[in-house]
Amino acid sequence: MTTTAQPQRRRRRTGSRAERRFALLFLLPAVALVLTFRIVPLLWGFGLSLTDATGLQQGQFIGLGNYAEMAGDPNFRAAMRNTVILLLTLPVWVLLPMILASLIHLGVPGGRLYRSVYFFPAVLSSVIVGSIFNVVLRYDGALNALLGFAGLPAIDWLGSGSTALLSLLTVQLWATFGMSLLIFLAGLSTLSSEMIEAARLDGARLWQVWGYVILPAMRPIIEFVAVVTTIGVLTNMFGLIYVLTAGGPGTATTLPEFLIWLEQGQMGRPGYAAALSMVLFALMAGIAWIQIRIMSRNAGL
Q: Which residues bind another protein (CB under 8 A)?
A: 192, 194-195, 197-204, 208, 212-213, 216-217, 219, 300-301
Shortest reach from residue 208's CB to another protein, in Å: 6
Shortest reach from residue 199's CB to another protein, in Å: 7
Cα 191 off chain centre by: 26
Shortest reach from residue 180's CB to another protein, in Å: 21
Closer to another protein at the Cβ: 160 or 298?
Answer: 298
Shortest reach from residue 100's CB to another protein, in Å: 23
Closer to another protein at the Cβ: 199 or 231?
Answer: 199
Closer to another protein at the Cβ: 108 or 195?
Answer: 195
Shortest reach from residue 102's CB to another protein, in Å: 17
How far apart CA 270 and CA 170 sit, in angstroms, is 31
How far apart CA 55 and CA 275 sit, in angstroms, is 14
Closer to another protein at the Cβ: 132 or 217?
Answer: 217
Shortest reach from residue 191's CB to another protein, in Å: 10
Give how far Cα 186 sits from Cα of 146, 149, 236, Å. Answer: 37, 41, 24
Closer to another protein at the Cβ: 88 or 301?
Answer: 301
Closer to another protein at the Cβ: 14 or 192?
Answer: 192
